[in-house]
Amino acid sequence: MHRIDNLQYANWSEKIFREMREGSVDAVHVTITYHENFRETVANVEKWNRWFERYPDLIFQGRIGDDVRRAKKEGRTAIFFGFQNPSPIEDDIGLVEICHTLGARFMQLTYNNQSLLATGCYEAEDTGVTRMGKQVIKEMNRVGLVIDMSHSAERSTLEAMEVSERPIAITHANPSFWHSALRNKSDDVLKALGSSGGMLGFSVYPHHLKDGTNCTLESFCEMIAKTADLMGIENIGIGTDLCQDQPDSIVEWMRVGRWTKEIDYGEGSASNAGFPQMPSWFNGNLDFDNIERGLLEAGLSEAEVAGVMGENWLRFYDKNFGPA
């Protein structure tokens, strides 16, 4: 059984890389871009190259599904790159292939705002996929860069699935039937995602959880079991959205970027502006055993739990990380 966390954005350190190994995490999809343009994204790849050079016994760059199997065999963690914003391709469709060559495997068509490609979930209106968006989806399909709609608005998400000839992903979100939040997803989106072979990664970020920081492991795992019934047990996995050891200045950067001179609190509020406290049962890479145990207690079979904890993402990686 392989264990995959399909979304983290920690304040990376040797400590965290060691915890990935101690927690038997074979692969992590890490966000390397929130608002960065192409050149700034390349600088972030350079940073990762230095970490790969410095900690070769702990981590290496993943590019295909087999790298997850290799990671498990060698007792390391494969790191896959992803973007939470299409800002790295700027206005240049040719950068889709370049970014894939550099290792990007997931790219959100939007962060919270309108992008050149589609609409983010914080906009008042949603036009769906734009003219450039349609062209870029075709190019992402060609090279095998997975479309991620975690932060996109509903219509854009449904249209992305229609336009895309390959399955898409929602790497880190939860169903809105469980906790209604702008970032969580409707039954319509989840059903369409499942029936098209797409994947949902369940988030442990408190603003996406019922009762926030006080969310119980039982409630979280029951929600997973219900979502499996809704969209298919093979179409779900984990995408914790873990932002371990990040200072609050980072969540402000995520929300505000460079697009406004005012404060935007996003999912938070003036009185709760920073990173929320994580639930007691999940603070980092050492805690995946808790989720695994919770899923068994929620009635999932061992094979089903293995699927959710990593095998489903691994099968998705195998199919979608290169030309069809």
Nearer to a copy of itself, 111 or 282 (CB): 111
Query: Tokens 């790497």 map to which residue?
Result: 171
How many residues bind a copy of itself, per CB under 8 A?
Answer: 33
Q: Tell which positions 75-114 bind a copy of itself, by CB under 8 A.
A: 87, 90-94, 113-114
Angle 63-68-72 (CA atoms, 0-180°, nearest 5)?
145
If binding is defined by CB under 8 A, does position 323 make contact with a copy of itself? no
Beta strands in the chain (DSSP E): 4-8, 27-33, 59-61, 77-83, 104-108, 146-148, 169-170, 199-202, 236-238
The tokens of 77 are what? 């963690």
Residue of 132, 181, 182, 250 that binds a copy of itself (CB under 8 A): 132
Residues 312, 300: Cα–Cα separation, whole Å: 14
Minimum separation from the CB atom of position 88 to a copy of itself (A): 11
Residue of 108, 119, 219, 285 that binds a copy of itself (CB under 8 A): 119
Residue of 1, 64, 116, 250 that binds a copy of itself (CB under 8 A): 116
Q: Is 193 helix (H, G, I), strand (E, B) or coil?
A: helix
Residues 74, 78: Cα–Cα separation, whole Å: 10
Residue of 62, 65, 88, 128 that binds a copy of itself (CB under 8 A): 128
Residues 302, 289: Cα–Cα separation, whole Å: 13
Minimum separation from the CB atom of position 128 to a copy of itself (A): 6
Minimum separation from the CB atom of position 125 to a copy of itself (A): 4
Compute CA distances 156 → 58, 276, 315, whole Å.
38, 28, 26
Query: Tokens 């001179």 map to which residue?
Result: 261
What string marks each residue from 182 to 201 as x (binds a copy of itself by CB under 8 A) or -? Answer: --------------------
Give the residues lining the site for a copy of itself (CB under 8 A): 35, 37, 87, 90-94, 113-116, 119, 122-128, 130-133, 135, 139, 257-262, 264
